[in-house]
Structure 1
Amino acid sequence: MSKIRDLIFSNGERYPILIEEGGMPNYWVTLYVTEKLRTTHTQSAISNSLAHLVHLQLWESINNRDLVAEFHQGKLLTDEDIYSIRDHCILDTRSLKKWLKSSEKNVVKFASASTASVTPIQRVSNNHAANRLTQIAAFLCFTARTILKTQLIEEKVSNDIEAMSKSLLANKPKGSKGKGLAANPNTKAPPPKAFERILSITRESSPDNPFKGEDVKFRNAIIFEVMEATGMRAGEILALQIRDIDFQKGTISVVRRHDAIEDPRKKQPVAKTNERVIPVNKVITNRLREYIMDKRSNIPSARKHPYLFVTHKYGEHHGKPISNSTFVNRVLKPAIAIYPELLEDITRHGFRHNFNYKLSKKIDAVNKAAKENPDIQPINEKKEIQIRKELNGWSSDKTAETYNLRHIREEADRVMKEDMDHWAKRAKKDK
């Protein structure tokens, strides 16, 4: 099967590419990425699109088809093909590959086969399947039009390609609209005590600390502290440069540096939202200064780049900026593994939800104090949205709703309980 690789051009541009088994780039996918995606999509977005097209290749392999060859013959997808691709898109790629591999090895007589031993193929969410089908439709339409460009003068050919694309899109599964239990805030992030626990575990003096080496323990403790205090995404944490820390003002800046030449990582961590400046307490800036001056500075190769958090393990990556895979597998997962029953639902993005939950609590405290002290200015809804957008780097007001669900749910429960208590007391008086 094809594999996704990331190239770094001399200007710093990251270019994801689909490499075939023979080591050559897939011609039609590369052409599609270059023509349609390269100028408007980020590295991450292009990689996601390539993964969707790899899933289409898996459909071709299973069904012994070659759609490009068929387009050259003027054959477009039939309705049955479209339904088959639609059903294929709902299946998890890794799970399907594993099932296919095991089914090839485990050929048994029908009488001795047991349904209990069959591992079911996992499914992806409707939103994910819909995104797959959207990208597949765009690729197939582009490929068909490019291959049949000399025939597009015929109205029927052009209409048939358009009809194929529309039919694929019409068969997209309906995604979640954020209603019902799917919108439960508790599914977005674990309870606050889980984050308090992981901070205590990763403190360098903790007996439960799973990391080896004093420098690594110190580095990882600060990473979790910064995530907890700022709500920054993991990519933003990994993209921090030393100059982004203002030790005098006590702030951390989130700066967009896509396709940075100085970043040696093929998969470059970048800021996803708007640039912003986040205030932090002096304890964090002092600990960051200590890490830079006493830990990071002892690694000669770390002085060759400006990125804040570096690899301390000896080897080819010693002193280089830590990668996303290193963060997930050697920082986040070992910490979660200490108490999986409490921490297993913690994700990098969960810290962002927890940050906004705590922000809601702080705003409530200010408004409560404002009722008792006229010198304190209350924070109205409009100002709250502005604060939340500024600290999170958002452009849309609606985004704040997703990250405030837990607090809204708690407030709704509190109001409901107060109302129930009121009527319960009223009922006792009436007796």
Structure 2
Amino acid sequence: MALLYRELDTAPRIDLIARLRAGHFLTDRELARLADAAQYDMRDQTQDAHQETTAQVVNLKSVRMRRRKTTQPEIEAVGNGYQASRIRYMAGYLEFLAGYYAAALPRPQRQQLLIESEAALTAFKAQIPKVSKRATLGAREGLSKEDQDRLIQVVHPDSPNNPWKHGFVRRRNWVMVMTLLATGMRGGELLGLQVKDLNAQLSKLGVLRRADAPEDPRPTPVNTKTNDRELELRPAIMKALVAYINEDRNRIRAARRFPQVFVAQNGRPLSRRSLEKLFQQLRAACPGLPVELTSHVLRYTWNDRFSEEADRMGLSEVAESRARNEQQGWSENSESARIYTRRHTRRKGRELALKLQENLDVPGN
């Protein structure tokens, strides 16, 4: 929606609401301009990139040429899936607006606007790129073993490369990253953990659904998307969690008002934005880490490690699937693992493919 309105606001400027109130819709040329803008990262599109010398015509070729003259070293194009989603959302929103304002017009104008908008949006939607379900190259994967080791080294409270200065923040962020790696839980589930969810004696923690929890003061409350479940931790990881709560969190007087485990220095529960910022700071502190590193990448990493350990234990495919679904809070017949195990699947496929080549009659084989 931000992209749509910014495009409408650049020269030649289009007052969409005034246009609709007058009984007219966007032209095919104007919609083509929106479809063109949907191809690019918003950061690479400057306000003057769309200005044209005439008030009526936009030369799309000149728009692309001007984009290349920006200070960016290279114009970033978004993926086909992202571009398709942008066009679909814009089309749905424009269709809603056309129907909304048409309802207030006299019958002849109403019919004309609806016919005009339907034809124009049909042509607009025809520009939605096809997104192949088989296009998995470049899809999100877990961290490699080397990147995991690098991450663990950087995030340790005693690391000279640790990006945080305050001792409380260092210890809290270390515990958060280790908990994500140990359990494969979602970032929202981590932020939703409450002190009462931890059973230190049994070294277990509960991941519970708490929709619209009144004890969550955040403007955007976090929630568990999967089923409730109980996860067992190694004693050393549980000990680190308990030490953080007793020695760091509970020393902040304001934190005692809230049940959430992970809090900011002012005592309030951490937000999603704070979690995102944590990984941004990690990437900046250690350039060798993948640029796409987020809390969710650690979920992929856990699933890769789970698959590798299942192979070593000789688990059957069915047993592995059931065990994984139980640990991740998925339904018993869920196939979500296919999404989260790309790196492991690709490695196994490569090993099998190379094995097939062993008996080929090639010199040196």
Please give the range of the TM-score, normalised by the shorter of the 2 chains: 0.7 to 0.9
- Give the CA deviation at 1:424: 6.4
Partner of residue 237 from structure 1, selected from 176, 190, 195: 190
User: How far apart are the structure 1 equivalents of 2:361 and 2:225?
Assistant: 50
Which residue in 2 is equivalent to 1:57?
A: 5
Cα distance in 2 for partners of 1:84, 1:101 equals 14
Q: Shift in Å at residue 386 of structure 1?
A: 2.7
Q: Do structure 1's residue 92 and structure 2's residue 46 form an aligned pair?
A: no
2:210 corresponds to 1:257: yes
1:74 equivalenced with 2:23 (yes/no): yes
Q: 1:416 to 1:323 in 2, by over 3 A?
A: same
If the length of structure 1 is used for normalisation, what is the TM-score? 0.71
Distance 1:279 1:101, change over 3 A: farther
Alignment TM-score, normalising by the size of structure 2: 0.83
Amino acid at match of 2:25: L
Q: Does the CA-based 8 Å contact 1:89-1:132 persist in structure 2?
A: yes
Find out whether 1:327 has 2:275 as its counterpart.
yes
Q: Secondary structure at the match of 1:349?
A: helix
3-state secondary structure, aligned to 1:140: helix
Contact 1:145–1:152, Cα closer than 8 Å, also in 2: no
Unaligned runs of 5+ in 2: 52-65
Aligned to 1:366, which of 313, 333, 346? 313
Q: Aligned partners of 1:411, 1:85: CA distance in 2, in Å?
A: 43
- How many residues are matched? 345
**Offset, 1:118:** 4.9
Q: Which amino acid aligns with 2:317?
A: E
**Pairing partner for 2:357 from 400, 420, 423:** 420
Quick one: which of 127, 132, 147 aligns to 1:171? 127
> Which residue number corresponds to residue 8 of structure 1?
none
Distance 2:26 2:207 in 1: 46
Q: How far is the alpha carbon of 1:365 from its aligned partner? A: 1.4
Q: Aligned in 2, Cα 1:64/1:345: closer, same or farther, shift over 3 Å? A: closer
By how many angstroms is 1:103 displaced? Answer: 9.8
CA contact (8 A) 1:250 1:281 kept: yes
Distance (whole Å) between structure 2 residues aligned to residue 199 and residue 349 of structure 1? 16
Match of 2:128, SS?
Answer: coil
Which residue does 1:267 correspond to in 2?
220
- 1:349 corresponds to which residue? 296
Does the 8 Å CA contact 1:202/1:221 hold for their aligned counterparts? yes
Cα distance in 1 between the residues matched to 2:334 and 2:103: 44
* Structure 2 counterpart of 1:304: 257
User: CA offsets per residue over residues 155-186 of structure 1, 9 Å max, x none?
Assistant: 66544444444433332222342426335xxx
Q: Which amino acid aligns with 1:181?
A: L
Matching residue's letter, 2:273: S
Please say if residues 44 and 70 of structure 2, whose CA atoms lie closer than 8 Å, have aligned partners that are also in contact. Answer: no
Give unpaired runs (5+ residues) of structure 1.
1-52, 105-112, 313-317, 368-378
Report the equivalent of 1:143.
97
For residues 101 and 390 of structure 1, what CA distance do their matches in structure 2 show? Answer: 53
User: What is the SS of the residue equivalent to 1:278?
Assistant: strand
The Cα RMSD (Å) is: 3.0
What is the aligned partner in structure 2 of residue 131 from structure 1? 85
Which residues in structure 2 correspond to 1:165-204 (within 5 Å)? 165-179=121-135, 181-183=137-139, 188-204=141-157
Deviation at 1:384, TM superposition (A): 2.5
Q: Per-residue CA shift, 1:19-72, capped at 9, x if unaligned?
A: xxxxxxxxxxxxxxxxxxxxxxxxxxxxxxxxxx12111111113101111111
Q: For residue 206 of structure 2, give the secondary structure of its aligned residue in structure 1.
A: strand
Hey, what's the Cα distance between the residues in 1 that align with 2:100 and 2:113? 12
1:405 paired to 2:342: yes
CA distance in 2 between counterparts of 1:349 and 1:230 reads 12
Q: Which moved more, 1:297-306 or 1:201-210?
A: 201-210
**Aligned partners of 1:102 and 1:182: how far apart in 2?**
30
Q: Supply the distance in 1 between the matched residues of 2:274 and 2:180 (Cα, whole angstroms).
A: 16
Q: Partners in 2 of 1:283 and 1:95 — Cα distance?
A: 47
Distance in 1 (alpha carbons) for counterparts of 2:352 and 2:40: 43
Question: Does the CA-based 8 Å contact 1:126-1:176 persist in structure 2?
Answer: no
